[in-house]
Amino acid sequence: MLVLRVDDVAVAEEVSRAVHGLLDTGQRAKPVRFRGEVLLVLPQGSRELLDRLRTFPGVKQIHEIAVPYPLVSREWQPETTRVRVGNVTIGEGMPVVIAGPCSVESEVQVRAAADAAKRAGAHILRGGAYKPRTNPYSFQGLGETGLKLLRAAADAVGLPVVTEVMSPSAVDVVSRYADMLQVGTRSMANFDLLRALGSCGRPVLLKRGMSATVDEWLQAAEYIVAAGNSDVVLCERGIRSFDVATRNTLDLAGAVLAKQRSHLPVVVDPSHGTGVVDLIGPMSLAAVAAGVDGIMVEMHPNPKEAFSDGQQALTPVQLEELVAKVARLADSLSPVYAGPGPRREYGVRNS
Amino acid sequence: MLVLRVDDVAVAEEVSRAVHGLLDTGQRAKPVRFRGEVLLVLPQGSRELLDRLRTFPGVKQIHEIAVPYPLVSREWQPETTRVRVGNVTIGEGMPVVIAGPCSVESEVQVRAAADAAKRAGAHILRGGAYKPRTNPYSFQGLGETGLKLLRAAADAVGLPVVTEVMSPSAVDVVSRYADMLQVGTRSMANFDLLRALGSCGRPVLLKRGMSATVDEWLQAAEYIVAAGNSDVVLCERGIRSFDVATRNTLDLAGAVLAKQRSHLPVVVDPSHGTGVVDLIGPMSLAAVAAGVDGIMVEMHPNPKEAFSDGQQALTPVQLEELVAKVARLADSLSPVYAGPGPRREYGVRNS
Amino acid sequence: MLVLRVDDVAVAEEVSRAVHGLLDTGQRAKPVRFRGEVLLVLPQGSRELLDRLRTFPGVKQIHEIAVPYPLVSREWQPETTRVRVGNVTIGEGMPVVIAGPCSVESEVQVRAAADAAKRAGAHILRGGAYKPRTNPYSFQGLGETGLKLLRAAADAVGLPVVTEVMSPSAVDVVSRYADMLQVGTRSMANFDLLRALGSCGRPVLLKRGMSATVDEWLQAAEYIVAAGNSDVVLCERGIRSFDVATRNTLDLAGAVLAKQRSHLPVVVDPSHGTGVVDLIGPMSLAAVAAGVDGIMVEMHPNPKEAFSDGQQALTPVQLEELVAKVARLADSLSPVYAGPGPRREYGVRNS
Amino acid sequence: MLVLRVDDVAVAEEVSRAVHGLLDTGQRAKPVRFRGEVLLVLPQGSRELLDRLRTFPGVKQIHEIAVPYPLVSREWQPETTRVRVGNVTIGEGMPVVIAGPCSVESEVQVRAAADAAKRAGAHILRGGAYKPRTNPYSFQGLGETGLKLLRAAADAVGLPVVTEVMSPSAVDVVSRYADMLQVGTRSMANFDLLRALGSCGRPVLLKRGMSATVDEWLQAAEYIVAAGNSDVVLCERGIRSFDVATRNTLDLAGAVLAKQRSHLPVVVDPSHGTGVVDLIGPMSLAAVAAGVDGIMVEMHPNPKEAFSDGQQALTPVQLEELVAKVARLADSLSPVYAGPGPRREYGVRNS
């Protein structure tokens, strides 16, 4: 694809209008705001197109990028993006731990969860207020009430909060309470939602669709970035395969590949990725050793009484042990990765 | 699950309130309107719960249903639902043919497509105005303009129209122009959208998610029915598998299984299901022989110039031949299915 | 690839020796006997290679074939191969029904099965004497004793027999008793077995591997043909997918695609393909309507007492009904397929 | 299942004969030799069966085991099996590195590979002499010549050797040259081969079938153990999924699950598991951090000239860097795993 750096939106629109007939997309390209710059993304097109663009006044630079997700690619930006979530930065080198219950169920439960997350050393609190449930008669979450409880519990312990948003119409309300908005696996291809998140003013945690290829996942991220929001964190959470021994098949290699192809930080969710409590620890350490930017795990004050996903939730004690192991592993990786580059670049090149 | 027939909404709410403590769902059940009746759906629960419900004033009947999609199950309603779309009925016995372009591209194109569909003998016109595209820079459809063109073209030839809706906020506008609203494969688990379709006043064509199990698909249908709309048609359109020789793997057995488990009519989309023009004919005939209620195929006046999916679109001539074959096969199936039951019951039982 | 028609084996070996240095395969090509001709198959190679071959004495013709399975491709042979199994021909236009129990269990059982198959109108008897079982402690089949019982039962009713061979060392013994040798799904990539079948003197029924692509399946067939046996019948029996509602996902489009790409006849096994008795009927009819050359179904005199796979076996009565339906459908397809070409060419082209 | 410890083979056979009528397997159970003991494995059966067995003279102990792979389960043997391969032990705690070319191509190539493997610090040399190739015209390996070259090259540098065996008839010849025999992914369900390996006198490296569940993989291992050989090492090498960005989907969680369910050591092959050179390093470290017993990687003296799989082969320099990283990671994991248990038990329990 072609990414044009242009002087301003007016130039972008003029270019778009002028080259419309030379494209085969059936529509005009729209200007993109990316970190203070105005860009225009066009399909590769013909030699004629390229010649025309080069002489266009107000077009500062033209980049040819081989992948269909130009703005999130490492071709476009070699260094990993750092995403700020409250007082935490994802993508900086040390793995971040996001933890909390599947659903916000009550004030008591979410307070206990927040306390436990904080005590365990987790960096960000997770918890669902709007729950995408397979069955219409299952618990669907507490909605805005849940958001309030989550916010209060997080504030009480000083943690930032990530929670899911399922619908464009809910982006505003969720943005009021959360530090980061999560797009769930079932919504990865909810393109209206992705577009709406372009202007939400919050970072976005984009889970991989359970049957999305890595390239489709990166194009979903491109939707958000093209809509104006470049603070996107990718989250691998397992894909569907034939083996039901685990709830999903955690595609850790896919997560590393996403990190190699894209500058966006990547976290891994071994709770949904395996659905088995005894696999969360080993796969968390595996993810950290593979060089990803963090993990996201489910923890419930009392997993046996959870409204949803109790079978894959850690207890507070298990979380504490896990965070300690992750921290020790991250520390000890410096000698492993010793050499010219810093630790977090490991995932990017195998040399 | 338990399905209660109750006197009215007030009774339903009273029951819901009363038994809340006996359930473990974390929320109160909501009354459901189903073809003039008021129902309340509850999880199976305890013996205590059942005893309590039996003595509750205003509870007329209690059905225990083994599957998690009670209202769309054949346990609840043995006979196939007939869904009226304009002047066409799906589920009546003879297979319905839905045909048209992937996208509405222009007035000329959609007129030509409508003419060709009509001339070929198709029963319903399809065409996309809101397109869910993997890439943010691809053609995204003409939106409401496209809806108007599609409506006008369909009216000109006297065909009803089905078109996709991607977002709850677009349900109203699409309902104004279309006779049936399509939920695409990427939206099957867009639960807010499914809920919004409960009150759209139009039948819904629910495509199977590309990695959804048959049971998840039926639960998605249950969302729409539980929200008040029992006119749902299921559409199998291929699932993701490891073999890239076809775009998707058309799960015809899954379509028949859905028909056996549910009273909703089922149509099959071999265009997306295979992505290969030469397979559309054989798989259409296969679907009809397997006893489904219709097929949905892509046809473009000029496939090579299509903005999207041209490689899997029939030409008008190919559609005409296909409709003729489908009709002859459907006619000739009477002797095949001769015996105690009517033709359309074949798919339901193998005897 | 290049397929050379040469005068004799000596020429083939001379060519092979001469061009060895121009190839990058690491080994010399071997002569292939294909229906009385001597062939040599070489990788595409360079222009230099082709020039050299053209001037080689004894090279009669050179065919360039685009697919990696040249001898089984329709490029090489446009018309469908007819495979003779005892007194039955597969690939002639009318669908063949292969039926019988999963395993040969006893003389009484296999006699009853043979009688039932014959009475139902099936054309070929199936039954396993060597059983590939997932668990080492499960019933492994009666071995040669089973072969004898199967042969006797088939002879008593005048049906030819197909049975599985699992190992190169068993090819001889199985060939003594069976009219056609089956390669099971777990053996599709048992290349030593495929090579051994090249000289067994019997037709081979090659099941698709449960995770094999269509192209891998055709290359497995090419192994047998390249080893000297061109009487191969392909059998689609379902692939692995994420949905456990059916035992496997019957890839009927894959079967039709195999038929379009290859001249080998293709049969479909809806018993293993679905694992659900109620789906066998609909999927058998679907397969016939899609234009394949036959079906293969499990039938047991008493499914509930079967040592293996009882849940997917038809009763004798169900088989009789199914064969009748298949026959009526096949008869009635003539008007459906009416037009320039004969019926069996339908599957091959969609026009 | 029931595992009986009995006095001797005669007792086992007497028990088997006596209880035959009480079982529904269709065959008599066979005695199993397991590390000097004689065992008899029976299906769970009835209360009557159990009562009968308890009073049988010569039956020393009866174990009820819940899984269908009793002898390889951790229920049967809690501690990890240590498998001796030449002078190397797999399963002892420190991860073992197996490295070498896909195929043995020539003396020069395999010598260079052996030198490089040794210099890099790998523990075992791999290399294929019998190659299971999808295409019949591809390089099929050098056969016994290749085995001799491999053995000589390994002896020259003092490394033990693992190589693939594809057929029961080749077990003897491969056993003469190799220290460990590999069962490839296409042969995991070649049950005749597995049985033949029961008496080969060599440890076996059993790769997971590309579409095998973890439980099927463990049952394949049970075949070998039940045939008399308890020195089995499991190897995860990626499963088939829909995403073609990687050659296979490395199921690291499945490898850890196998280790939790079975006492057999588990190694991981990220070369076939990903098919991408840049992913081998990150996934090797991930596997080690997850607690597996070793890794197996492809390395070629000159990947660009490899007859097969060059795109996923490390260079000698890359291997050297990888082994160094693996060693440093393994060393540094001690503090990570600090606590009551030894390091290698980590993978087994998450606490």
Residues of B in Cβ contact (< 8 Å) with C311? none
Averaged over B83-103, what is the pLDDT?
96
Residues ≥6 apart with Cβ < 8 Å to A172: A200
Cross-strand partners of B295? B97, B268
Per-residue pLDDT at B167 exceeds 90: yes
At B338 the pLDDT is: 45
Tell whether D242 is within 8 A of chain B (Cβ). yes
What one-character-per-residue DSSP string does D251-298 give?
-HHHHHHHHHHBSS-EEE-HHHHH--HHHHHHHHHHHHHHT-SEEEEE
Whether the CB-CB separation of C283 and C269 falls below 8 Å is answered with no
Q: Cα(B167)–Cα(A192) distance, rounded to whole angstroms?
A: 7
Residue D336 confidence class, pLDDT cut points 50, 70, 90: low
- Token representation of residue D345: 């038990």
At D306 the pLDDT is: 87
Q: A228: buried, middle or exposed (CB in 10 Å: 19+, 13-18, 0-12)? A: middle
pTM for this prediction: 0.94
Give per-residue pLDDT as tens, C182-214.
999 999 999 999 999 999 999 999 999 999 999
Note the maximum CA span of chain B: 67
Q: Cα(D264)–Cα(B221) distance, rounded to whole angstroms?
A: 46
Averaged over B192-220, what is the pLDDT?
98
Closest Cα to residue A59, out of A44, A76, A42? A42
CA atoms within 13 A on the CB side of A290: 33
Tell whether C108 is within 8 A of chain B (Cβ). no
Torsion of CA D219, C221, C75, C85, to 10 degrees: -130
Residues of A in Cβ contact (< 8 Å) with D243? 213-214, 239, 251, 254
Helix-strand-coil split of chain B, %, nearest 5: 45, 20, 40
Residues ≥6 apart with Cβ < 8 Å to C194: C183, C220, C223, C224, C227
Closest CA in chain B for residue D249 = B242
Count of H-run helices and E-run strands, chain B: 11, 14
Q: Cα(B111)–Cα(B154) distance, rounded to whole angstroms?
A: 8
C 324-343 near D (Cβ less than 8 A): none
A154 sits in which H/E element: helix A144-157
Residues ≥6 apart with Cβ < 8 Å to A317: none
Higher pLDDT, A195 or B332: A195
CB atoms B137 and A25 under 8 Å: yes
Helices (H), C165-251: 171-177, 191-196, 214-226
Whether the CB-CB separation of C246 and B253 falls below 8 Å is answered with yes
Closest Cα to residue D124, out of D170, D165, D180? D180
Sign (positive or negative) of CA dihedral B189, B190, B196, B197: negative
Q: Cα(C157)–Cα(A90) distance, rounded to whole angstroms?
A: 74
Give per-residue pLDDT as tens, D136-149.
999 999 999 999 99
Q: Cα(D97)–Cα(D59) distance, rounded to whole angstroms?
A: 43
For residue D263, the one-letter residue type is H
Q: Cα(C235)–Cα(C204) distance, rounded to whole angstroms?
A: 10
Residue B49 confidence class, pLDDT cut points 50, 70, 90: confident
8-state DSSP, D180: E
D232 sits in which H/E element: strand D232-236
Tell whether A134 is within 8 A of chain C (Cβ). no
Q: Select the residue of C24, C169, C226 nearest D136 (Cβ to Cβ).
A: C226
CB atoms D189 and C132 under 8 Å: yes
Report the gap between the CA of A185 and the closest CA in chain D (Å).
16
Closest Cα to residue A252, out of B81, D270, C332, C232? D270
Q: Which of A82-96, D14-28, D235-249 has the lowest mean pLDDT?
A: D14-28
- Token representation of residue D27: 């065959």
CB atoms D223 and C136 under 8 Å: yes
CA atoms within 13 A on the CB side of C200: 34
At B341 the pLDDT is: 35
Residues of C in Cβ contact (< 8 Å) with D192? 166-167, 169-170
Q: Cα(C212)–Cα(C219) distance, rounded to whole angstroms?
A: 10
What one-character-per-residue DSSP string does C94-158 give?
SPEEEEE-SB---HHHHHHHHHHHHHHT-SEEE-BSS---SSTTS----THHHHHHHHHHHHHHT
B 243-262 near D (Cβ less than 8 A): 244
Tell whether D66 is within 8 A of chain A (Cβ). no
Mapped onto helix, strand or coil, the DSSP state of residue B262 is strand
Report the gap between the CA of A255 and the closest CA in chain C (Å).
21
At C349 the pLDDT is: 30
CB atoms D26 and C134 under 8 Å: no
Taking CA atoms, D205 is separated from A19, D168, D180, D183, in Å, by 60, 15, 7, 6
Torsion of CA B334, B337, B339, B344, to 10 degrees: -90
Q: What are phi and psi of B233, to 5 degrees?
A: -115, 130
Q: Select the residue of D257, D325, D328 nearest A246 (Cβ to Cβ).
A: D257
At B43 the pLDDT is: 86
Mapped onto helix, strand or coil, the DSSP state of residue A257 is helix
Residues ≥6 apart with Cβ < 8 Å to A266: A233, A234, A235, A236, A255, A256, A258, A259, A292, A293
Report the gap between the CA of A270 and the closest CA in chain C (Å).
19
Q: Select the residue of D214, D288, D289 nearest A243 (Cβ to Cβ).
A: D214
Note the maximum CA span of chain D: 67
8-state DSSP, D242: S
At D26 the pLDDT is: 74
Residues of chain C with pLDDT under 70: 24, 335-351
Helices (H), chain C: 9-19, 47-54, 107-120, 144-157, 171-177, 191-196, 214-226, 252-261, 270-274, 277-290, 316-337
Give per-residue pLDDT as tens, C119-161.
999 999 999 999 999 999 999 999 999 999 999 999 999 999 9
Which chains reach chain B with 3 or more Cβ–Cβ distances below 8 angstroms?
A, C, D
Residues of chain A with pLDDT under 50: 338-351
- Token representation of residue B236: 């199998």
Whether the CB-CB separation of B169 and B192 falls below 8 Å is answered with no
CB atoms B26 and A1 under 8 Å: no
Closest Cα to residue D86, out of D71, D96, D94, D100? D96
At B336 the pLDDT is: 63
Give per-residue pLDDT as tens, A179-237.
999 999 999 999 999 999 999 999 999 999 999 999 999 999 999 999 999 999 999 99
Q: What are phi and psi of C164, to 5 degrees?
A: -80, 145
Q: Which residues of C249-285 are buried (b: 16+ CB within 10 A; e: fewer)?
A: bbbbbbbbbbbbbbbbbbbbbbbbbbbbbbbbbbbbb
D196 sits in which H/E element: helix D191-196
Q: Where are the beta strands (DSSP E) in chain A?
A: 2-6, 31-34, 37-42, 59-64, 83-85, 88-90, 96-100, 124-126, 161-164, 180-183, 204-207, 232-236, 266-268, 294-298
Q: Select the residue of B29, B136, B210 nearest A226 (Cβ to Cβ).
A: B136
CB atoms C241 and A244 under 8 Å: no
Which chains reach chain A with 3 or more Cβ–Cβ distances below 8 angstroms?
B, C, D
The pairing of strands B180-183 and A59-64 is: unpaired
Q: What is the ipTM for the molecules in this complex?
A: 0.94
At D310 the pLDDT is: 83
For residue B145, the one-letter residue type is T
